[in-house]
Chain A
Amino acid sequence: MEKVYELGIDVGSTTVKTVILDDGNIIYNKYERHYSKVRETVAQQLEIIGNLYKGQRFRMAITGSAGLGIANASGIPFVQEVYSAFVAVNKSYPDADVVVELGGEDAKIIFLTGGVEQRMNGSCAGGTGAFIDQMATLLGVTPTELDEMSLRAEKIYPIASRCGVFAKSDIQPLLNQGARKEDISASIFQAVVDQTVSGLAQGRKIAGKVLFLGGPLSFLKGLRKAFTTTLKLDDEHAVFPELAPCFMAYGSALQARDLSEEMTIDEALEKIKNAKTHDSIAVGKPLFETEEEYHEFIKRHSRSDLKYADIKEYEGDAYLGIDAGSTTTKLVLITDEGRLLYQYYGSNKGQPLDVIADKLREIYSIKNKNIIIKGSCVTGYGEDLIKAGLGVDYGLVETVAHYKAAAYFCPDVDFIIDIGGQDIKCFKIKNNAIDSIMLNEACSSGCGSFIQTFAQAMGYDISDFAKLGLFAKAPVDLGSRCTVFMNSSVKQAQKDGASVEDISAGLSSSIIKNAIYKVIRAKSVSELGKNIVVQGGTFLNDAVLRSFEQELGRNVIRPAISGLMGAFGCALFAKEKAKEQSDIISEKELEDFSYTSKNLSCGGCTAHCNLTVIRFNDGRRFVSGNRCEKGAGIKIDTTQENLFEYKYEKILEIENEKPVTKVKAKVGMPLALSFYELMPFFHRIFTDLGFEVVFSERSTRDTYYKGQQTIPSDTVCYPAKLCHGHIESLFEKGVDFIFYPCMSYNIDEGGSDNHYNCPVVAYYPELLRANVPELNDKNFVAPYIDINQKRHTAKALSRALSAYGVTEKELLPILDRAYSDMVRYRRGVESKAKEIIEMARSEGKEIIVLAGRPYHIDPEINHGIHKLIASLGLAVITEDSVSSLCSTPDLDILNQWTYHSRLFRAAQYVTTQPDMQLVQLVSFGCGIDAITTDEVRAILEEKGKLYTQLKIDEINNLGAAKIRIRSLIAAIEEKKEREKRKINV
């Protein structure tokens, strides 16, 4: 009988792997990147094999995330990739317990013992090979270099790996603050491990003999190290097979015998080449129908060019503007008349300080000696560092800088949209001031840099890649979700045979749709106004610009210096505030300019901020990473009170009161969710019943890590996730049982349609009981209670605590006291708020109602946003401190959640107070806030108030929050000035 080989082909998201078996033994394997040319690469690989095994016959099977299309079209059998891995592992490592496999865009875990279970990453592509590639690009190194650096790390920073975009916003500030790249590299790997442990394992322990598969795990030593250390595996239990990258191809080869008919390579090639792709891809309109249309477009936009002047010839005053953005650095030098003397736009290479110092040296060396720099101004993420390091005169909020620049080109501009490397910013302009700001939320950011990363992944330079899209005949419709999701849309389009041109055009249009539908959320074009100015580096891309015009159906203005608008606005600002001579670092000082950076953990308070201390050669130092001014060595004004801290301390204080009688038992209460408001109530009940009440620890990042193994849903809000750690903390404290009631209903404060808790707050105890293995019916008391009804509450509690002989009768008087305690706590908050308001008014300060939910007082949840706001010279109070001061306004929604109905009343109250503003704090993943935020905005805006929203989750980077708050302050000031002018007229 003629010999028949088995061939396994694994078509992954970034690579093609092939394995040939002869009688079950591997005789050939190969690993090749496909750069999205899936079909071509597969064909190539087959040709290579065909040459090696001329005329031989094979049975073959395809596997892998990008293999399905080819398999379906060619009729070669397809095997699900995780199943392939499963088969291969069973064959070669029958004693393995768990398999962890990281691929290009997938992450998978297979539990083999104790109930076979296979898991793939959800709709998020975080924690995968693509994520690591993206991070390497961000650091300006190759993945191999990243790996080498990680081995020299000294410390680990917390980085979110849920999705690349999140991680970026964690890493960028670290880079800007000068953190060591070695440490960041190791932190990136640690983030991948955390993602795998919490996101994939979801409560199941990764233990026993663990097999690690996939490309990244076989090539990256640092990643291996992070996994083995975190999972506490020794060499015997952590297995890294040599064949790891080709393991799934091996698995599919093993199955080929049963699935496939015999064929020669030529026959297989024939099948693949002739395979028809179905035309299921949605197709958009071409960007330009004709070449002429394109030229017309180019001509129109060249009208918004800036005039230039020669830096070598010009003599006189000049103004310097710097935009130290998140990924790029921009510099301009302009003349009195706004002519451009010098411009620079480039990557900050993770070292903005070095890049800017370099460019300044260049300016000094080429400029005419009679140019006097009279003012300088900086904006962007690196503002503070640059200002401190290089003696820049002014700092400006990004939003204001952009408006100034836009107004220069179009004095009656109505709407500005700026798409940068990582952010989309939109401002509506009314009465010559910024009226409302829309920023992209963490999940949809990364727009500009996404195209860039994508271009690189496909093997193109960004500008070439963008140009390809201009004349695409059938741009792919990729939807408008966050960029990480787009990855899989692109994958699908490729599978369906879309060309690189079509994908390039499709990506441009996606970014635009993201901006219009997600960030601006415009219902109609007319809403944006007549005069629209677009800017930001991403709009330098003609395809993106054209997509925008197409989507809006109207022409917009793109200044030729679109990417430099922030810097240009700064230069204009510097001109307005011109001095005799700018304080900026001189040519001579620049010669000796140098600095060192060091990382410290601040001991100022429990937040333990990661500080980066930069010491300049002249002895000055700059501290960043701190939320308050304490770490920067500035003495804090202790007289200033902040309602967030007041509430938090008041709740914590409660624990000190212990029962006077003999202690019946130790009851634990987690410092989480609704307990942040109901602690006075439940503590009183249990203390007076004779129980010692023990609170869980104060939340920190470690609290989260403690419980992350038992979190079953990775998209639930961070406050809920923290509960798991608090339960662990209570066990550590040795409590006899934990009390955590389920409550469909919250406190009825009246004036609303109902008084529910949100589903998560209401029933989280049910989830905890089902997922925390230590919990059982004895040590977890979770009765259903509606605390609005005294008799019922007494009955329910006596039933739940019957083991301790608690009776309904003894509870009734205790409940009276508990209700009073709850009211007293609330009154305390309200009168403290009054004090703070009066104090602020006497000092002429603006007052911010930082409106969220009771658990937002947890420092691990709010990340110190209240401190940040206070440090900007504002007084901070909370929503529950003013919500009883007015009645519910007319609403257009069903007002049925207690916490949320306070927001509406607080917003209504703010509209009656000229010196108050409301800032809404929203936890990522809070579905109910999708309804409340629009309503709160409507209440405020109807009465001419500004609306600001801050979205928070486990990421503790406050950069975006700071921009919003500062923009708010700028807008308030602008408004005040306008009113002053009105009065003067």
Chain B
Amino acid sequence: MRYVTEKIVSFAITLLLVSTVTFFGVNVLPSDPAMLILGTEGDPERLESLRQELGLDRHVLARFVRWLRGMLSGDMGRSIRYSVEIAPLIRNALPVTLLLAVSAVGLALLISIPLGIGCAVRQGSFLETASLLLSQLGMALPSFWLGLLLINLFALRLGWLPPAGFTSGYSLILPALALAVPRAAVLTRIVRGSMLDALSQDYIRTARSKGLPRQMVLYKHALKNAAVSIASVAGVHLTQLLGGTIVIEQVFSLPGLGQLLLAAALQRDLPLVQGLVVTSAALILLVNFGIDLVLMGLDPRLRYE
């Protein structure tokens, strides 16, 4: 119980800090939404009346307090850029980013776990050399570039998958793959390293000498121990993706949180930026919490700390 209360309090404080920093950070930037909306047709009179209409003539602190009060009562306010409520905007974008991040990390695990185990078990084999070489390449390849290559091959030349936009689940295959490959490259090395580490432990020798089947030693004893470091690294990647698929969303024209945030920031749509930042921050906190739970499940020692 105390653990839960502590978590909730630290959640709230983190969110408050994050939103305060963003609010004032965005306010320091030159220009404001009114100026950006009017562009090269603006004049001081219209600028003034638009600022009044958008509530930008009020003091920064007053605006912040007003925003905070709205947030606490569950009202995220209206977007300046899109002239609509913010909550549905985020509700529409959230699943795209969430699905993309989860499938990218899932795909990365699907590739890296068998490869990593293979490398650890057959040290010095062709498989290991090839995997390590490919992993080096994968780590050096930026996701957006890989994304463009994938579009060229699978959408343009073969015509199997849509090149851009979000029309169905198929739209997520290429971007997820583009995000997964560099992560799989890192994870393969982590899996290999932690498996090698686990396999050299005394208890493995004991298990082997007891005459346990090879498979059981590998999966039940070694992998379970290696899983702690694999899960924590995968978790880091997941949180990273939740906060930053902006580039890949741009390359594939995906209507996710990243693209919304970019549009909002460029237009100085402060309420929308705030809503998005708080949402991603909350998401990351939740995922971190989830990972903590998973790690505790995997490693009993963590439970009593």
Chains A and B form a bound pair = no
**Chain B residues engaging chain A, CB cutoff 8 angstroms:** none
